[in-house]
Each structure stands twice: as C-alpha cells, then as structure tokens.
Amino acid sequence: MNLKGQTQILGLMLWVFAFVTAVILASPIKDLTTEMRGADNLNCSSDILSTGVYATCIVVDWYLPYFIATIMIGGAAFVTFRRT
C-alpha cells in the first residue's frame, strides 16, 4: 500500500474515533442539559422568563446537536481535505 492509501486509512480511523467519542459524550451532555434546564437552575419550563434566560434555554437546547455536528463535520473535513 502506498503512502496515500495509508494516509486515507489513518484519516478514516481518526474519523471513526471522533464519531465514537461524540456518541460516548452524548449521554453525559444530555444529562447536563436536562439538569441545567431544571427548576433549580434555569427553570426553562416557567411561564415568566426574561429574555436572557429564554435565550440561554434555547442555546442549552441546541448544544448537543451542535456538538455532534461539529465533531462529525470536523472529522469528515479532516478525512476529505487532508493534504499529503
């Protein structure tokens, strides 16, 4: 196997590592998000929320999908656009 093939295999292995890491970290991040939205912290289920708390609740809600998307896009970009 030539150097380019070895580089592609290494890139694929790193992408799989990034994917597994994102999947493993998804559960603790979801638990953290649920805890932050609870009545003891942000209380996002309240009817009366200030603009800042409402915006923070939205950001907290979207943290997990953005985290996974960032890991996946970063890994795919690393595999696809890596120069040798």
Q: Give 50-76 pLDDT, tens digit per residue.
A: 999 999 999 999 998 898 888 888 878
Q: Which amino acid is at 69?
A: A
**Read out DSSP for 51-65?**
HHHHHHHHHHHTHHH
pLDDT at 78 over 80: no
pLDDT at 15 over 90: no
Average of per-residue pLDDT across 2-23 = 84
Are 62 and 1 in contact by the 8 Å Cβ rule? The answer is: no
pLDDT at 84 over 60: no
The model's pTM: 0.68
